[in-house]
Amino acid sequence: MDIFGTEPRKLHKTDGPSTSKDAAYSVNTNKMEQIVFDTIKSFGKTGCISDNVRDALPEYGYGVTARYKALKDKDLIKVDNRTAKGRSGRQQQIMWATNFYTVEDFLL
């Protein structure tokens, strides 16, 4: 089984409009999760915020942000309470590929 990809039924509300269901079944989540994961991983021990991921993948727009939850649920990326200021001036969680995140980093 591939570690990337999310079942379309998990991407829409059961009682949602048919357009939401159609969209959920049209997204290639295998590809998108892999691309977003590889981008987050490319930042190494430094980690990144959502603005960094979106800057690296402008052709996907906000479609990348929908992949974070699945990657967290699969334990492929980690977040803690550390944040960095985004372009909007608001704080965004820092994300790391799991193999680059250690508790010791957080405690320093």
Q: What is the pLDDT of residue 108?
A: 54
Rounded alpha-carbon distances, angstroms, from residue 43 to 4, 7, 14, 22: 19, 28, 36, 34
For residue 102, which of 69, 72, 80, 73 has the smallest C-alpha distance? 80
CA nearest 94: which of 71, 107, 76, 77? Answer: 77
Second-level CATH architecture of 8-107? Orthogonal Bundle (1.10)
For the segment 85-103, the average pLDDT, to the nearest whole number, is: 94
Q: Domain residue spans in the chain?
A: 8-107
13 contacts: CB under 8 Å, gap ≥ 6: 20
The pLDDT of residue 107 is 57
| In the predicted structure, residue 1 carries a pLDDT above the cut 60 | no
**Three-class secondary structure of residue 97 per DSSP:** strand
How large is the average pLDDT for residues 2-19?
81
Residues 41, 43, 45, 49: what is their CA dihedral angle, to the nearest 10 degrees?
A: -100
Mind listing the pLDDT tens digit for each residue in 36-67? 999 999 999 999 999 999 999 999 988 899 89
